């Protein structure tokens, strides 16, 4: 047998190898994903080649990938019985890093940042070299299927600049990669539990069994006796998304969803389909039945998993779905995606855009079906996650009307526990009604008792109640729906179909002029056409933010946000107003006039949910009023 032959990596590739092993991967654990993937590819290649030459199988059809940790020697072995490599193949594949490795190519890598690294390999050419992140020496022993036993080859390198190649005798076909682990990585990557966790995270669904060799658990081992080794398959091999839907039971879907998310509740909807055409991909998505525990806590990473041929490439791929669909769990498997050298950062491309557009359409379709087929289940979903879905009208212009059609709202005419959609609102409204009326506030109960809705109730018009914080963010994105304009019920000008124009006359007109002087907090005091039972209400000037939004900003610490003065509308027919007008006409200098006017303003503020600036002063005015009336 001849002596090992020493060879050098090409000079610029030596630098590239340093970049790969020290800067390219953000998570060193991916080395095992790369090596297991290489082993799987080798087995698949043998299967394909054996269709023409069954002799290549050498009477061994039991395909497996073996992980053999050796803590005492600080080694990890990855072994397969795939196609194997000849001496020429070893030199070509392992001795030339990313075969197009020119000097310009190297400069491109060096100049790239983590966010815009170029598509260096396209088809995963350098994954093997990630082994040098955890090993200070890598040894590869291989023999190509169909070659004699003495045609084996050993390749050894420390990744520093050269490698050796020598012939070896290897009875079995396939490849064995031996990692001589770095001191700081020996404990971690010879730990069977760690290896199993990594395989389940990245390679659980490859169809080749991954067999872990580990000491068999049991009683104390005898000091002079070698530990008993147990071989155990650690990957599930069950890529559910690759199976026909007709062959999968609901129990299997539920179990997969629970394993994927940790949510013990079955999903409300399963989306399982194949994208065909210019881009082929598999999708398996789940819509949760309610808001999952811990959802949106802190700053979570969102997006479905991305697989390429069963191998996990990205845990959270934000590019696969718009952010307002972050409640969707699941995965996409696409063999056609161009990835960068580390498989961790996707290149923006038409393939990705096609998947995103198609997947978004399918999620919206599934939500519509859930809403129409199982209203109770959809209501439970929307109660927990409707606020997230509402972000879509601002973030997804192309689909905003479809997204808005999925919303549920309480309303003036629906029972307290019920909800209705925009389509149901339009269907129930009079044909002549050209607008969709809404009112924002802190709660359904508060809005139902608001003076603002009195005229709408009297005219048999419905008003949607928007009570979630996200509603104020949503509204600018959906000013129209199916030709109907959305209009706030507390807008400065009440619509003619709800209220006739009101004008104050006589003593009431004089009272309103005086109140403008006494109440500088408001921009105007005017007669109201929308009030029926209440004495007064506050309305929002055209173009100004609503009182509800102002309150929200203040709670969030934005007390300095600009605030518009509101308009106080007064019901000239209300007995409190007429009594005050008579007092003003008889005794315009009476001190009670200012106090009572301010009580009316504070009554309007409380009715809409706005905290009083001076609650103690309000209480004092009430006490004085009680004392005065009680003494008569």
Using CA atoms in the order 60, 62, 63, 64, what is the torsion angle rounded to 10 degrees?
-120
| Regions of the chain with pLDDT less than 50 | 11, 98-110, 112-125, 341-343
- Range list for CATH 3.30.230.80 in the chain: 240-376
Q: Which residues pair with 69 in a beta bridge?
A: 76
Tens of pLDDT, residue by residue over 137-170, are 999 999 999 999 999 999 999 888 788 999 999 9
Instruction: Write down the pLDDT at residue 162.
Output: 82
For residue 605, the SS3 value is: helix
Q: Tokens representing 227? A: 């530990």
Q: What angle do CA 463, 464, 467 make, to 5 degrees?
A: 130
CA distance readout (Å), 386 to 289, 320, 473, 474 = 12, 20, 13, 12
Instruction: Write down the pLDDT at residue 159.
Output: 81
CA distance readout (Å), 287 to 113, 381, 539, 609 = 36, 8, 40, 35
The CATH code belonging to domain 5-233 is 3.30.565.10
Residue reference for tokens 């198609």: 358
Using CA atoms in the order 287, 288, 294, 299, what is the torsion angle rounded to 10 degrees?
10
Instruction: Write down the pLDDT at residue 295.
Output: 80
The CATH code belonging to domain 240-376 is 3.30.230.80
Q: Which CATH number fits domain 507-539+562-630: 3.90.1280.10, 3.40.50.300, 1.20.120.790, 3.20.20.210?
A: 1.20.120.790
- Range list for CATH 3.30.565.10 in the chain: 5-233
Question: How far apart, in whole angstroms, are the C-alpha atoms of residue 252 and residue 26?
Answer: 34
Instruction: Write down the pLDDT at residue 298.
Output: 62
Residues contacting 102, CB < 8 A, separation 6+: 12
Neighbouring C-alpha atoms within 13 Å toward the C-beta of 616: 0
Find, among 499, 489, 494, the residue nearest to 548 by Cα.
489
Instruction: Write down the pLDDT at residue 2.
Output: 67
Q: DSSP characters for 429-458?
A: S-TT--EEEEEE-S-HHHHHT-GGGHHHHH
DSSP state of 326: T
Instruction: Write down the pLDDT at residue 568.
Output: 94
Instruction: Write down the pLDDT at residue 106.
Output: 37
Mean pLDDT of the chain: 85
Find, among 117, 104, 90, 109, the residue nearest to 18 by Cα.
109
Instruction: Write down the pLDDT at residue 128.
Output: 84
- Range list for CATH 1.20.120.790 in the chain: 507-539+562-630
Residue reference for tokens 């845990």: 315
Decide if 333 contacts 309 (C-beta within 8 A): yes
Helices (H) and strands (E) in the chain, counts: 20, 21
Question: How far apart, in whole angstroms, are the C-alpha atoms of residue 472 and residue 313?
Answer: 38
Instruction: Write down the pLDDT at residue 367.
Output: 98
């Amino acid at each position: 047998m001849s002596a090992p032959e020493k060879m050098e990596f090409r000079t610029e590739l030596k630098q590239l190898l340093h970049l790969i092993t020290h800067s390219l991967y953000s998570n060193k654990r991916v080395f095992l994903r790369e090596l297991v993937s290489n082993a799987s590819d080798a087995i698949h290649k043998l299967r394909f080649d054996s269709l023409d030459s069954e002799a290549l199988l050498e009477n061994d059809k039991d395909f497996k990938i073996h992980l053999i940790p050796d803590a005492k020697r600080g080694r990890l072995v990855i072994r397969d019985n795939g196609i194997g490599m000849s001496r020429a193949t070893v030199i070509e594949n392992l001795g030339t890093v990313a075969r197009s490795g020119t000097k310009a190519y190297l400069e491109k890598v060096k100049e790239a940042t983590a966010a815009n690294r170029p598509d260096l390999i396209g088809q995963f050419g350098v994954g093997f070299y990630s082994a040098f992140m955890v090993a200070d020496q890598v040894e590869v022993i291989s023999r190509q299927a169909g070659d004699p036993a003495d045609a084996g080859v050993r390749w050894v390198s420390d990744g520093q600049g050269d490698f050796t190649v020598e012939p070896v005798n290897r009875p079995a076909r396939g490849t064995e990669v031996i990692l001589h682990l770095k001191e700081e990585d020996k404990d971690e990557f010879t730990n069977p539990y760690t290896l199993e966790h990594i395989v389940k995270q990245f390679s659980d669904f490859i169809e080749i069994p991954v067999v872990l060799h580990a000491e068999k658990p049991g009683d104390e081992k005898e000091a002079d006796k070698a530990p008993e080794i147990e071989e155990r398959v650690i990957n599930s091999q069950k890529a559910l998304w690759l199976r026909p839907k007709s062959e999968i039971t609901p129990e299997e879907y539920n179990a997969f969803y629970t394993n994927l998310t940790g949510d013990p509740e079955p999903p409300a909807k399963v989306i399982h389909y194949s994208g065909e055409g210019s881009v082929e991909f598999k999708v398996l998505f789940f819509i949760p039945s309610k808001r999952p525990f811990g959802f949106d806590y802190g700053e979570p990473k969102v997006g479905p998993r991305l697989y390429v041929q069963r191998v996990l490439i990205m845990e959270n791929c934000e590019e696969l779905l718009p952010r307002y669909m972050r409640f969707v769990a699941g995965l996409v498997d696409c063999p056609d995606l161009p990835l960068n050298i580390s498989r961790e950062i996707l290149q923006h491309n038409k393939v990705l855009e096609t998947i995103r557009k198609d997947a978004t359409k399918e999620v919206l379709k599934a939500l519509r079906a859930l809403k129409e087929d199982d209203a109770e289940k959809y209501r439970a979903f929307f109660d927990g996650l409707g606020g997230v879905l509402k972000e879509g009208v601002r973030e997804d212009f192309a689909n905003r009307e479809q997204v808005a059609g999925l919303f549920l709202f309480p309303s003036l005419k629906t029972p307290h526990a019920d909800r209705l959609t925009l389509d149901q609102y339009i269907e129930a409204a009079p044909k002549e009604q050209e607008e969709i009326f809404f009112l924002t506030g802190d709660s359904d109960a508060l809005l139902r008792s608001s003076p603002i809705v009195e005229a709408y109730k009297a005219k048999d018009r419905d008003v949607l109640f928007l009570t979630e914080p996200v509603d104020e963010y949503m509204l600018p994105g959906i000013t129209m729906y199916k030709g109907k304009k959305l209009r706030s019920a507390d807008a400065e000008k009440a619509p003619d179909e709800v209220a006739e124009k009101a004008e104050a006359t006589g003593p009431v007109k004089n009272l309103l002029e005086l109140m403008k002087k006494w109440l500088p907090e408001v921009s105007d005091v005017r007669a109201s056409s929308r009030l029926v039972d209440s004495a007064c209400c506050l309305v929002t000037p055209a173009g100004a933010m609503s009182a509800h939004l102002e309150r929200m900003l203040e709670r969030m610490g934005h007390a300095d946000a600009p605030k518009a003065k509101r308009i106080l509308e007064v019901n000239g027919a209300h007995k409190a107003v007429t009594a005050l007008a008579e007092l003003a006409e008889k005794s315009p200098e009476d001190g009670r006039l200012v106090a009572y006017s301010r009580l009316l303003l504070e009554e309007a503020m409380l009715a809409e949910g706005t905290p009083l600036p001076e609650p103690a002063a309000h209480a004092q005015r009430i006490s004085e009023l009680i004392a005065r009336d009680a003494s008569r």
